[in-house]
Amino acid sequence: MERGMSENVVFGRNAVEEALRASGRVNRLLVAKGARPEWLDALLDQARAAGVRFDFVPPAKLARLAHTHEHQGVVAVVSPVEHLSLEQCLAECPKRATLLALDGVQNPRNVGMLLRTALGAGVGGVLLPVRGGALLSEEIARASAGAVLRVPVVYCGNLPQALRTLQDAGFWAYGLAAGGPRDVFDVSWPDRAVLVVGNETKGLRPVVGKACDALVRIPLAGELDSLNVVVAAGVALFQIAAQRRREAATDSEAG
């Protein structure tokens, strides 16, 4: 499905309601502190139903984002491309699939390059938690060099819960960690696997690591203790992709 670009924000009651109805386009909702018009509760209920986070901020911040004081106390930060729900992603996943989950990756350029890497490695979807990391933006779109238009992106409110949902659907979750007990080159990757990578400096959060079925590492020489998150994810994803190709070739010969 081809997806197009749009502006970064919309503001005012009617425009924000329309943006929320256009499922998969709103990153987050910003509401003026102290504002309580009669229609606001219904709007926030709409945001909750759509799985969109909202925060209360000073009115001056809304004016800066909207470039006007006529914002009616509400601004929606809009993604440049559509994102999917986890349920939509699962409905489209084949029997043999690889997903990538980002736990707190904050640099938009890294997120963009991870999307491009995921596309090249044949990943079926990239999970972005709605809090703690960078969400889809024009900067990410530029850094992905167009890949953001071709890789399904899934927003999730709670990454450990999303991993449990994936596990219930037959996925095995592997967290990439420098101290992981297993070597990525020795893993026999299952038909359904999700690779989880962490923050650029802190790595995986403990709660996310515990939600994984296993933690895996990339063996490093030269006394290095870690790699850039994009490089590390690329090594692991293309290792999985290589195994997928071998399996596909074996299936073809057997058929």
For 42-56, the pLDDT digits (tens) are 999 998 888 788 999
Q: Are strands 26-32 and 74-78 parallel, antiparallel or unpaired?
A: antiparallel
Q: What is the mean pLDDT of the chain?
A: 90
- Model confidence at 172, pLDDT cuts 50, 70, 90, reads very high
Residue 157: per-residue pLDDT? 86
What are the DSSP calls for 205-217, one per residue? Answer: -HHHHHHSSEEEE
Cα 82 to Cα 1, 4, 59, 153, 183, distances in angstroms: 10, 8, 28, 8, 35
pLDDT at 4 over 60: no
Q: Which token pair is 41? A: 């509760």
> Element (H or E) spanning 112, and its range?
helix 108-120
- Model confidence at 155, pLDDT cuts 50, 70, 90, reads very high
**pLDDT, greater one: 7 or 179:** 179
Give CA–CA dist 200/202, Å, rounded.
Answer: 6
pLDDT at 110 over 80: yes
Q: What is the pLDDT of residues 196-237, one digit of tens each?
A: 999 999 999 999 999 999 999 999 988 788 899 999 999 999
Overall pTM surpassing 0.85 (yes/no): no
Domains plus CATH for the chain? 9-78 (3.30.1330.30), 86-254 (3.40.1280.10)
Residue 7: per-residue pLDDT? 44
Q: Are 157 and 122 contacting, i.e. CB atoms less than 8 angstroms apart? A: no
- Model confidence at 255, pLDDT cuts 50, 70, 90, reads low
Q: Are strands 214-217 and 182-183 parallel, antiparallel or unpaired?
A: parallel
- Model confidence at 18, pLDDT cuts 50, 70, 90, reads confident
Q: Are strands 53-57 and 26-32 parallel, antiparallel or unpaired?
A: parallel
**pLDDT, greater one: 124 or 130:** 124
Q: Are 32 and 63 contacting, i.e. CB atoms less than 8 angstroms apart? A: no
